[in-house]
């Protein structure tokens, strides 16, 4: 397994619609395992393939605790039902480092997907797991959490990230000022 570089905004690859996988073969399993290691190293609770430059419909999620990991792997995830109830969480994104905003989404979802063994599965999720899965599926459509907040907040965040890139200023864990 390897830790892959994570793409940060602004980057055209984060705005693209990703393609379904034909099947979860050994190459996709390798991608899933590398994504999981990359997510743990970051650290984060979810990661979508486009964040590591792969425009395929693959996500990994772990909302467990350090002492009790709960890795989950999804290919071609599809929300087939969502609650009318909504929930608000303060979201962050490894592709928008150091920026956080409250985002409102359906509180519960039902999902259809292929698991790491290429087996079709259905599952229901609520709480942080539901929020995280929806955040990751958004990435597969080229949507970031800032696309759910006010235009003013969005432009403030994107301006900060553009400036940081132009200055070649490292963000997140290697930032010194």
Q: Return the active site residues.
A: 136
Site string (41-80) toward ligand GNR, x via CB under 6 A: ---xxxxx--x-----------------------------
Q: Are 135 and 93 in contact (CB under 8 A)?
A: yes
> What stretch of H or E contains 166?
helix 151-166
Instruction: Give the footprint of Ni ion on this chain (CB under 5 A).
Output: 93
In order of 17, 36, 94, 156, 165, the CA distances from 161 in angstroms are: 22, 25, 12, 9, 6
Taking the complex as a whole, the smallest distance from the CB of residue 108 to ligand GNR amounts, in Å, to: 15
Binds ligand GNR by CB under 6 A, chosen from 18, 21, 35, 93: 93
Q: Does residue number 136 form part of the binding site for ligand GNR (CB under 6 A)?
A: yes
Residue 172 gets the label, from left (phi > 0), alpha (psi -120 to 50) or beta, of left
Where do contacts with ligand GNR occur on this chain (CB under 6 A)? 44-48, 51, 89, 91-95, 131-132, 135-136, 139
């Amino acid at each position: 397994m390897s830790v892959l570089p994570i793409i940060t905004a602004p980057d055209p690859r984060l705005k693209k619609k990703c393609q379904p996988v034909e099947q979860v073969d050994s190459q996709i399993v390798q991608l899933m395992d590398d994504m999981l290691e990359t997510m743990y190293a970051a650290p984060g609770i979810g990661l979508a393939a486009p964040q590591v430059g792969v425009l395929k419909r693959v996500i990994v999620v772990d909302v467990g605790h350090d002492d009790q990991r709960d890795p989950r792997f999804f290919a071609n995830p599809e929300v087939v039902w969502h609650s009318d109830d909504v929930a608000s969480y303060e979201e962050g994104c490894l592709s928008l480092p150091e920026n956080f905003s409250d985002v409102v989404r359906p509180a519960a979802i039902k999902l259809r997907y292929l698991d790491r063994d290429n087996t079709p599965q259905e599952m229901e999720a609520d709480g942080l797991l539901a929020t995280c899965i929806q955040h990751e599926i958004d990435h597969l459509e080229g949507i970031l959490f800032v696309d759910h907040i006010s235009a003013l907040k969005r432009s403030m965040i994107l301006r900060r990230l553009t400036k940081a890139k132009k200055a070649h200023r490292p963000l997140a864990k290697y930032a010194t000022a």
